[in-house]
Chains A and B, each alone.
Chain A
Amino acid sequence: MYKVILAFRYLFKKRISYLAFTAVALSVFIVVVVMTVMRGLVTDFKQKNHNFSGDCVVAGDSLVGFAYYEDFVRTLQGEDFVEGVSPVINSFALISRQGSARNIGVQIMGIDPVMHSRVTNFAETLHYNRHNVAGAFEPSRDPNHTGCILGIGLVLEPDSNGVYDYYGAVLPAMALSVTSFPLTARGTLAKAGLGMVSSKTFYYSDVSHSGLARVDGAMVYLPFEQAQLLCMAGVEKRISSIHIKFKHGVSLHSGLDKVSALWKDFVKGKGSEKLAYLFENVTVQSWKEHRREFIAAMEKEQTMLTVMFALVGVTTVFIVFVVFYMIVSHKSKDIGILKSIGVSKTNVVGLYLSFAFLLGIFGSAGGLAGGWVFLLRINAIEHWLFKHFRFQLWDRTIYAIGDIPNKVDFGVLAIIVAAALFACLLGAFIPSFKAARLKPVETLRVGQL
């Protein structure tokens, strides 16, 4: 019992303990805030990529694509674990406004908007046709024209809060000339005069805001058949990828295994076909693998931050070590007194580790409370800073984020508190043993007082 009483008194009655408390609380505060924001950003980014890709993507790493896809799409549609399937054309093109000589390079994504919305959140990214995705490629001013959907970054700029100022209820009439580079199944540019279409006019029918900066700033969505005509030359129809969504309850791993098995059988069955060699470039990937070049960078950043904050933890351990070393040196008389009344070495270690544990608990509680309050107000604080000092953590005109993520994850909090407790115990470990090894006769001598 004396251990509990003394540990509390050491913590609350000694000024030096406040230094250790402040160090632990500050470390916890910083880690909670940064990890919550970073984790929020990474989770949000992953979710957006997941929403953009669906669960699984059968895709090649070539712009040539692959043929006979309709059979495989039908096979997938007949499977009970598949919620939706969407064949997609991916390529590059130049676009220019009609009457303008200026053109820019963009990515093309040819989709059937209804099929694609069953697999991804495409419908939700639209502004004007969110509830009428079937008419997404019908320009409101003239539904008879062929429409195109532009990534929002191609036509609008966000304000300082990351909010886009849309045109209003009706889109302006805007005709865009899209020029592509049709490829043959052999990967060469198709020769002119063979029924090939390389340039076509589309009318602006909607904007898509996926929240992915690279997609929204460079993507033009075209009707599937039109994109196929523009990008894939040849008799046999080809596509770039098939996006698949699994039914609720089907795990990514098992769904992926099933699609891989089906794809293997399909490729085997088509082995004798003329364009079967194109299957060599095609792989079945999860959405994470498909978007890994984007996600990996973000995850790497998160890992680096975790490593950096592990170093903050090391600093905390050192501060606790120094503080405890000073306390033990200062309280050597107490240790002598305790030993003179029969307190064992183990109990002396226990006393100082109890002190360290309490320090960890109260320091963590202080840091958590501070971090929580700060996170609750982080967007208001950033707004105030921007209003008065034009300071923003992330420039919303550049980064595709809205509010700073501030949703606290209790699992992460538990890990941070456990790490803080461990740091305190680690920091106090050596001083505690030093205290236990002190000889009472040396600490109680008159000369030592």
Chain B
Amino acid sequence: MKKNDLMLQARGVHKSYRMGSTRVSVLRGLDLAVKRGEFVAIIGASGSGKSTLLHILGALDGLNKGVVRIEGQDLSGLSSRQLNELRNHKVGFVFQFFHLLDELNVLENIMLPAMASKSVFGWLVSRGRARKRAMELLKRFGLSDRASHKPYQLSGGERQRVAIGRALMNEPKLLLIDEPTGNLDSATGNGILDVFEELNRAGQTIVMVTHDERIARRAGRVIELVDGKIG
């Protein structure tokens, strides 16, 4: 495998938390490599450190030891500003509980990453383009008529599609997904997984964590997390 083919690489990742007077090791020397365009599912029991791993891979959390690289770039060498830019441009997160901002409507929620990367004046210049992109995403996910709705006016499946739209707004190279169907019924969950498959077919690199093997089987490769390592 060529070095350039790797989208994501983790080597010897250790992560522990202090819980009261004891220290709990969650990840113990984990190694992982994800190629460009790959759809990888990481499965593991509840509390096995799946979400922690996803947060570390997306630079939302730090690690105690080890190296994480995205497109060959070592995250430990990046400044706060560079990490913010990375989260804004290269990585898209989709959470189990959607995590939409209640004060914003659907269109604004989707445009949020684009707004976050621009100053007020920069936004005034580029908002037409951002709006067009957001409307395309809404259309793609069948939410065109929901643009002005607030999150509380949507169903669970619709909210998750909005969250996916937001994650894709800045066209990230890596999509990190945390239990995407955990809060949805089976039919809706399948619909969401169809979306991910379609995205992957279009070339999107996806890393998804789940505790459900049936869902994990929809990915191209399944990795099991056992005792803080890839099993």
Q: Report which A residues bind B (CB closer than 8 A).
A: 1-2, 4-6, 9-10, 13, 333-334, 336-345, 347, 439-441, 444-446, 449
Asked whether B97 is an interface residue with its Cβ less than 8 Å from the other chain, the reply is yes
- Asked whether, in the complex, the Cβ of A347 is within 8 Å of the Cβ of B116, the reply is yes
- Asked whether, in the complex, the Cβ of A340 is within 8 Å of the Cβ of B97, the reply is no
Asked whether B14 is an interface residue with its Cβ less than 8 Å from the other chain, the reply is no
- Asked whether, in the complex, the Cβ of B60 is within 8 Å of the Cβ of A344, the reply is no
Partner of A440, one of B52, B60, B97, B118: B60
Closest-CB distance, B199 to chain A (whole angstroms): 18
- Asked whether, in the complex, the Cβ of A441 is within 8 Å of the Cβ of B60, the reply is yes
CA distance in complex: A53, B104 (Å): 66
CA distance in complex: A337, B99 (Å): 6
Closest-CB distance, A327 to chain B (whole angstroms): 12
Asked whether B101 is an interface residue with its Cβ less than 8 Å from the other chain, the reply is yes
CA distance in complex: A10, B84 (Å): 24
- Asked whether, in the complex, the Cβ of A342 is within 8 Å of the Cβ of B113, the reply is yes
Partner of A1, one of B87, B99, B120: B120
Number of interface residues of B (CB under 8 A): 35
- Asked whether, in the complex, the Cβ of B81 is within 8 Å of the Cβ of A344, the reply is yes
- Asked whether, in the complex, the Cβ of A5 is within 8 Å of the Cβ of B104, the reply is yes
Tell me the residues in window 86-121 of chain B with beta carbons closer than 8 Å to chain A beta carbons: 86-89, 93, 95-97, 99-101, 103-104, 108, 112-113, 115-118, 120
CA distance in complex: A337, B98 (Å): 10
Residue of B51, B100, B103 with most chain A CB atoms under a 10 A cut-off:
B103
- Asked whether, in the complex, the Cβ of A333 is within 8 Å of the Cβ of B88, the reply is no
- Asked whether, in the complex, the Cβ of B116 is within 8 Å of the Cβ of A338, the reply is yes
- Decide yes or no: A342 and B112 within 8 Å by CB, A337-B99, A449-B97 being known contacts: no
- Asked whether, in the complex, the Cβ of A341 is within 8 Å of the Cβ of B55, the reply is no
Partner of B93, one of A4, A340, A345, A439: A340
Nearest-neighbor residue (CB-CB) of A338 within chain B:
B116
CA distance in complex: A449, B51 (Å): 15
- Asked whether, in the complex, the Cβ of A5 is within 8 Å of the Cβ of B113, the reply is no
CA distance in complex: A341, B58 (Å): 10
What are 8 inter-chain pairs, A to B, with CB distance below 8 A? Answer: A1-B124, A2-B112, A5-B115, A340-B87, A340-B95, A341-B87, A342-B86, A441-B52
Contact partners of B95 in chain A: CB under 8 A: 340, 444
Partner of A4, one of B88, B116, B120, B127: B120
Partner of B101, one of A337, A345, A445, A446: A337
CA distance in complex: A146, B34 (Å): 114
- Asked whether, in the complex, the Cβ of A342 is within 8 Å of the Cβ of B87, the reply is yes
CA distance in complex: A338, B116 (Å): 8
Asked whether B5 is an interface residue with its Cβ less than 8 Å from the other chain, the reply is no
- Asked whether, in the complex, the Cβ of B84 is within 8 Å of the Cβ of A342, the reply is yes
Contact partners of B198 in chain A: CB under 8 A: none
Contact partners of A1 in chain B: CB under 8 A: 115, 118, 120, 123-124, 127
Contact partners of A342 in chain B: CB under 8 A: 84-89, 113, 116-117
- Asked whether, in the complex, the Cβ of B120 is within 8 Å of the Cβ of A6, the reply is no
CA distance in complex: A337, B124 (Å): 23
Contact partners of A336 in chain B: CB under 8 A: 99
CA distance in complex: A342, B167 (Å): 11
Contact partners of B74 in chain A: CB under 8 A: none
